[in-house]
Chains A and B, each alone.
Chain A
């Protein structure tokens, strides 16, 4: 399925804003994404499997808070960085 990548993570995807990854859950999809683009997962998911504080993940426009979310092949996953900074 399609995964939209925010600009801070595009150094991992060869500057591509839209990539393909597969998985029956968000956790599986992120694992697959990491196998294709090593290191990308840890920058957005911490070692306790929580989505980092300033990262937002949306599935079909709905924000999700955890990784055990089922996915269908037609879903669109959007990863964003939160509106914060300084």
Chain B
């Protein structure tokens, strides 16, 4: 990227309450803490019975929430709240692919999987990623959505995205849509499957960005695309710094370089470097957390050995430390999905994750000690830490 090398100043740590936006298979919940992050009040379920894959606070006004929803029977839609979830209004035109020409098979959005607020200079702009893979944009705060033709109708779309089998068991997904805080035209996205892609013209054209990333499930070495990034994060203070938790390891890339470096090889060999989520420290670009899972044999996708633990690196992946204090010592067989781990902006940073077995775990000291703040929720898809205005 040719963006000016302006290094933003490190923001002061947050001091207010934290809201955890929790999306589950049976609805959404909002957990609000006190300022000390000791007590949590739970609101919800919202959209009870709906499959909610993602709920996100608009960082530009810190009051608007968007949530994706569908049910097992009803088609996909989106809801928007401008009062932090007290009331919701459905999108009048949810993401949908164009109607196919007569005699041709058209694509159908199964569910909206991912939401990203647009650039600070573009209030009202949102991006959504769907299953099957599709990129959609709203310019009116999430009320009406249009396909981004530069991606969805790209002549390479079918090759980039593969087929229905090239994705997760409940459908291939687009996720990790990221807008450069220096330049609204500069976007990244990721797909399971497909890989990481970059656009420098606000989505009109896209380039694969997967060099150096393993794809050992493909028959060809070093493919240009077809990879399986599970979660990609860009550091807010160093927008040229990307981290990736992939189906085949943990990676780091500092642009303008284009070759990812596998930093997961420094994880303990018994644990490996497979997982779904990856979380960044809001003020320290060298600190990141992952939550490893078992990617051996038939891929159980649960914590290795039934002993759940997060791992943190304080030096950009050169070394890793196990963080399991407070977590089950054994017989813990849950999975933490790719959007289900997050960090707040306090000091020390609070780290949170939700499990497929419906537990929410919190640490207010950067993972040194965990406590379970909720159990018996439905299967958790996403947890986002936010700082709403009151």
Contact = CB atoms under 8 A, between A and B. Distances in A.
A, B: real partners: yes
Interface of A: 8-9, 38-39, 42-50, 52, 54-55, 81-82, 84-86
A13 B92 CA distance: 15
B305 to A, nearest CB: 29
Interface in B57-77: 71-75, 77
What is the interface of chain A mostly: helix, strand, loop, or mixed?
A: loop
A9 B96 contact: no
Contact of B106 (A38, A47, A52, A86): A47
A38 B90 CA distance: 9
Contacts of A45: 75
A38 B73 contact: no
Contacts of A85: 72-73
Contacts of B74: 8-9, 43-44, 52, 55, 81
Contacts of B72: 54, 84-86
A55 B73 CA distance: 7
Contacts of A84: 72-73
Interface stretch (B97-105, B247-255, B315-323, B328-336): B97-105
Contacts of B92: 38-39
Contacts, number: 54
Nearest to A45: B75
Contacts of A55: 73-74
Nearest to B91: A39
9 contacts: A42-B96, A43-B74, A43-B75, A43-B77, A46-B96, A46-B108, A46-B109, A47-B99, A84-B72
Nearest to B105: A48
Interface of B: 49, 71-75, 77, 90, 92, 94, 96-100, 105-109
Nearest to B75: A43
A65 to B, nearest CB: 16
B77 A42 contact: yes
A82 B73 contact: yes
Contacts of B98: 47
A49 B104 CA distance: 13
A6 to B, nearest CB: 8
Contacts of B108: 46-48, 50
Contacts of A52: 73-75
A47 B73 contact: no
A85 B71 CA distance: 9
Q: Which 7 A-B pairs have the closest CB atoms?
A: A47-B96, A54-B73, A43-B74, A48-B106, A81-B73, A46-B108, A43-B75
Residue with the greatest number of chain B CB neighbours at <10 A, chosen from A42, A50, A55, A85: A42
